[in-house]
A and B are shown apart, each in its own frame.
Chain A
Amino acid sequence: MKKSVLLGALTIAGLSAGAAAASTLEDVKARGTLNCGVVTGLVGFGAPDANGEWVGFDVSVCRAVAAAVLGDANAVEFVPTTGKTRFTALASGEIDMLARNTTWTFSRDVDLKFTFVGVNYYDGQGFLVPKALGVSSAKELDGATVCIQTGTTTELNLADFFRSNNISYEPVPVETNAEGQQQYLAGACDVYTTDASGLAATRAAFENPSDHVLLPEIISKEPLGPLVRHGDDEWSDVVRWTLNALITAEELGVTSANVASLAAEPNPETPEINRLLGTEGNLGEMLGLDADWAQRAIASQGNYGEIFAKNIGEETPIGLARGLNAQWTNGGLIYSPPFR
């Protein structure tokens, strides 16, 4: 089982995860669980519920990948990561994929050697202020104290925004969203800034959400998406097309409710649905998976629209509108390459 004496000894300690196979996909299959990096706790995107079960928008992506690859949406080991540890965890192989509202940027893609497989949420950086402050625009924030999560792109955007508008601010660095929330509620900072979706989620957890407002300015582009390590294209394809399958499913009207019947009785008039669900063609095989991989992903988590509505949609306390994240057919940016 082990390749060297040192590793032999470590195995005995039982703590080494063992000799990794050549590819992440084989690794995951051999291990039987998917190690997925998630946020340490952001309601709606990824947080353990009262029973310790992880739920949320990003968490669903992990579960969908696990369902596609392993056939079990619960075969996921969730690894909570902070802004600081997330990239190291991914680079060192501790996690197989990171689905932790992480912004796709040039340097992360090119310099840090990660592959962003797509965008599951188009976000932008916003500001949350108490209503009592009477501020209606971010440009009025001259001299304000701003809570900001360190190690994020928002930290750099914030510096740029204030510098280009020639106004000053005091940064209060915080490590996690929870800490930022405490500081903000205690009044140690006037403003809390992070991705607008995260702000909405944070505000939803407040005792009196209506006492706080999101300022209209969105100061940056924050395309958030899952990412994997550079250099393992087979695995990045699996994650990318699982995400695309969820998006395509919504576009084609495949839902968790009807996916089973659509797959059982393929309709020859909807070839793309058939290809997606593996009743036609051999897309699954090309990916190194079985034919009904996408079926399982959709059946377990629902399509993109369902996941959105269930975790962060307008019916939930977080109450985010689809906006930019509507399907391209509805004027949004969510667009999957065709399954062909």
Chain B
Amino acid sequence: MSDTHEHSVSFVRTESIAERDPPYAASGPVKWMRDNLFATPANSVLTLVSLYFIYLILTATLPWILNGLWNTSSLAECRQVLDGAVGACFSVLTERWNQLLFGFQYPNELYWRPTLALVLFFVAAAPVLFFDLPRKLLIFTALYPFIAYYLIWGGALAVPFVALGGCIAGGFIYQRFVAGSFALGFFGGVVAALVFWYVGGMLIPENANGTAMMTAVPSRDLGGFMLNMMLGVTCVSLSIPLGIALALGRQSSMPLIKWICVVFIEFIRGVPLITLLFVASVMLAYFFPPESQVDLFLRVVIMITMFSAAYIAEVIRGGLAALPKGQYEAADSLGLDYPQAMRLIILPQALKISIPGIVNVAVGLFKDTTLVSVISMFDLVGMIRGPILASTEWNGVYWELLGFAALLFFVVCYGISQYSQWLERRLATDHR
């Protein structure tokens, strides 16, 4: 073969020539730009407009940010130092840092308590968020609400202990009886917890708060971003079980229960959160027994929890509806009763489908906690619009403060939504 070849052609290249670079315009950044930025004339125009837009934004903000001052004590001083140059007075953030985070009434010397509570929150949340961590950490998560309560509010140590004791008593009764009947276990547990709390409440001496090791802080002294975080975390965690109950109720075959849930959900979803907050601030007090005083924070927590429970219920209902009917039938054919089928087969799958929706609701709810500033609670926005902008020193510093608030919320909300996307990929067990 090689012989014939040798004779039939006069020249055979014996080695391959070196690869040539692709044409300049078809490789590297140029090609990328041609493909992605200047593919068509219309596209080029869009690119140029976008570039101009970015240029405008950067020229407006960059000098302002880079020239910012961090250590003046008032706006007047800051303007004097800037001397007409463009620059931000970030010193309002450094000077009012504690107020922005903790509100203006939380005792200064106690700031370590909410800070520690926040750090512990990450520890407590970790095993819930990341499944690879040792399961034993969940014990800490279960204890966390009581620790956080004690850290933030202080007061008598007996209060969180009695609360914890009630939960343990309830859990114990539940474990004892759940094998027989779920309803018996569940209601028995609730009753046990209530009895424990009632008796425990009797035992706590009247003046326990006065003699406590940790100074008691009334909840109206809470404020700043701490208040947003607390409202967000508390209400979301409380509303998930309530939402599950409502969703199951709405799917129920019992007409009365179904209608109670439908009316509740549609009512709550039909009105803006702000009217519910008005209810909390001006109306709810009338619905409690005359001799009791439930403070504003608790009233707001009740209303926001109801609000987010209604939305979470709708998300979970979607999850329940999305499960193939075969799953329900399979559970029935195994002879499981309703609570067993729900706990062991349906809810784990439905909740998994609902996670992105629940996270969306949680992010929305966290953002909506800023609305409490309208009913004169001093959350981050309330602090900015109230005491800080009203003070003689910082009268007129809008952008630094609003930008800071926006940045804080962005970081938290964006973080949560990124986590949710990660989780979705992680939980995707369908075979692709």
Which of A's residues lie within 8 Å of B, judged by CB?
1-20, 30, 32, 40-41, 43, 47-48, 52, 77-82, 84-85, 88, 92-94, 176-179, 181-182, 185, 205-207
B375 engages A10 (CB within 8 Å)? no
Cβ–Cβ < 8 Å partners of A43 in chain B: 392
| Residues of B187-225 contacting chain A, CB below 8 A | 194, 197-198, 200-202, 204-206, 210, 218-220
B387 engages A48 (CB within 8 Å)? yes
Q: Is the CB of B115 closer than 8 A to any CB of chain A?
A: no
Classify the secondary structure of B's interface with A: helix
Which of B's residues lie within 8 Å of A, judged by CB?
76, 104-105, 108, 149, 153, 155, 159-160, 162-163, 166, 194, 197-198, 200-202, 204-206, 210, 218-220, 281-282, 285-286, 289, 291-298, 375-376, 378, 385-387, 389-392, 395-396
Distance between Cα atoms of A30 and B105 in the complex (Å):
23
Contact of B163 among A12, A78, A94 (CB under 8 A): A12
Given contacts A20-B293, A52-B104, contact A185 B395 (CB under 8 A): yes
Distance between Cα atoms of A206 and B385 in the complex (Å):
17
Cβ–Cβ < 8 Å partners of A3 in chain B: 289, 291
A16 engages B292 (CB within 8 Å)? yes
B389 engages A13 (CB within 8 Å)? no
A12 engages B166 (CB within 8 Å)? yes
Distance between Cα atoms of A19 and B288 in the complex (Å):
12
Cβ–Cβ < 8 Å partners of B395 in chain A: 181-182, 185, 205-207
Contact of A92 among B155, B285, B289, B389 (CB under 8 A): B285
Distance to closest chain A CB from B80 (angstroms): 11
Distance to closest chain B CB from A154 (angstroms): 18
A13 engages B298 (CB within 8 Å)? yes
A85 engages B376 (CB within 8 Å)? yes
Cβ–Cβ < 8 Å partners of A15 in chain B: 153, 219, 294-295, 297-298
Cβ–Cβ < 8 Å partners of A19 in chain B: 291-292
Of A3, A20, A41, A92, most buried by chain B (CB within 10 Å of CB) is A92
Contact of A48 among B104, B210, B392 (CB under 8 A): B104
Distance to closest chain B CB from A208 (angstroms): 10
Distance between Cα atoms of A77 and B219 in the complex (Å):
11
Interchain residue pairs A-B with the least CB separation, the first 3: A178-B390, A92-B285, A8-B201
Contact of A16 among B149, B163, B200, B294 (CB under 8 A): B294
What are 9 of the A-B contact pairs (CB < 8 Å)? A7-B292, A9-B198, A11-B204, A17-B293, A19-B291, A48-B387, A81-B376, A92-B285, A94-B285
